[in-house]
Amino acid sequence: MTCQTNSDNCKADARHFLLPNAELSVWPNWLPAHQASALQARLTTELSWRQEQIRIYGKVVKIPRRQVWMGDAHCSYQYSGVRFAPELWHPLVQQLAAKLTDMLGHPFNCVLLNLYANGTEHMGWHADDEPELGRTPVIASLSLGASRRFDLKHRTDGHQLQLALANGSLLVMGGDCQQYWQHRLPKQSRVSAARLNLTFRYIVPPA
C-alpha cells in the first residue's frame, strides 16, 4: 500500500515488505511521539471502554483487553458470534480517519480501538476477514503508547514476520493479506506500560 498524496506523513520514512499474498507497509514515525502520547492520554480518559465477552469454542469469556467500536451509523460488526453497534465518532479519531483516507487514497468509515493495560493483555491469532470488510480489505493500524511485538504468519507456506510497533507507528495491511495471513499481539510480561491501538477499516454502506 503506497501513499496517494504528498503529505508530510507520506514523506516520513516507510518500510515496504515483499511478502507472498500480501501488501504490508510500516511508517515507524507516522505521528510524532509527543502527539501520539497526548492522543493516547485523551482517548484513554474520554472514551467509554468496555471489556467485551465473546464466545470461543462454545464458551463465553472476557477478552484480555478493553475495546471501543466506533464509526458511521451503518457500520455494525460481528466478531466471535457477537454483533457490535458503532459508537459515535470522537472528533480526533474522525480526523485521523480523514487523514488516512487522504494519504492512502482509500476510504475508512469505522475503527476498532483496543486498550492494553500492560504486556499481559493481548490478542491471539486471527485475521480481519469478516464478510463486512470484503475480500481484500485495507487495514490501517495506528499504535500509541508502549512498543509491542506484532506477529504475522502465512496460513499455508510457513512464512512469518515479527514487527516492533512503537508509539506513533502506522501499519497498513492490504491486498490478500487477510485471506492468506494471520496476526496477533502476543503477551510480553516485561511490558508494564499501556498500549492503545486503532485499526481503521471500511464497511460498504447498504444500497
Q: In order along the chain (207 residues), what is the average pLDDT of each group of 10 residues?
A: 60 86 97 98 97 77 91 87 88 98 98 97 94 95 98 96 98 98 97 98 91
What pLDDT, on a 0 to 100 scale, did the predictor assign at position 194? 98
- What is the Cα–Cα distance from 167 to 147, expressed in whole angstroms? 6
Instruction: Report angle CA 120, 81, 69 to the nearest 5 degrees.
Output: 60
Burial of 153 (0-12, 13-18, 19+ CB in 10 A): middle
Q: Do 83 and 56 contact (CB within 8 A), yes or no?
A: no
What helix, strand, coil percent values describe the chain, rounded to 5? 20, 40, 40
Q: Strand 53-56 to strand 160-165: parallel, antiparallel, or no bridges (unpaired)?
A: unpaired
What pLDDT, on a 0 to 100 scale, did the predictor assign at position 123? 94
- What is the Cα–Cα distance from 126 to 152, expressed in whole angstroms? 10
What pLDDT, on a 0 to 100 scale, did the predictor assign at position 182? 98
pTM for the model stands at 0.92
Give how far Cα 6 sits from Cα of 52, 105, 165, Å. 39, 12, 24
The strands making up 15-19's β-sheet, listed across from edge to edge, are 15-19, 22-27, 170-174, 139-145, 195-201, 110-116, 66-71
CATH number of 14-201: 2.60.120.590
Residue 76, number of CB atoms within 10 A of its CB? 14
In the chain, domain spans: 14-201
What pLDDT, on a 0 to 100 scale, did the predictor assign at position 207? 78
Q: Do 174 and 124 contact (CB within 8 A), yes or no?
A: no
Contacts of 192 (CB under 8 A, 6+ apart): 118, 119, 146
What pLDDT, on a 0 to 100 scale, did the predictor assign at position 60? 79
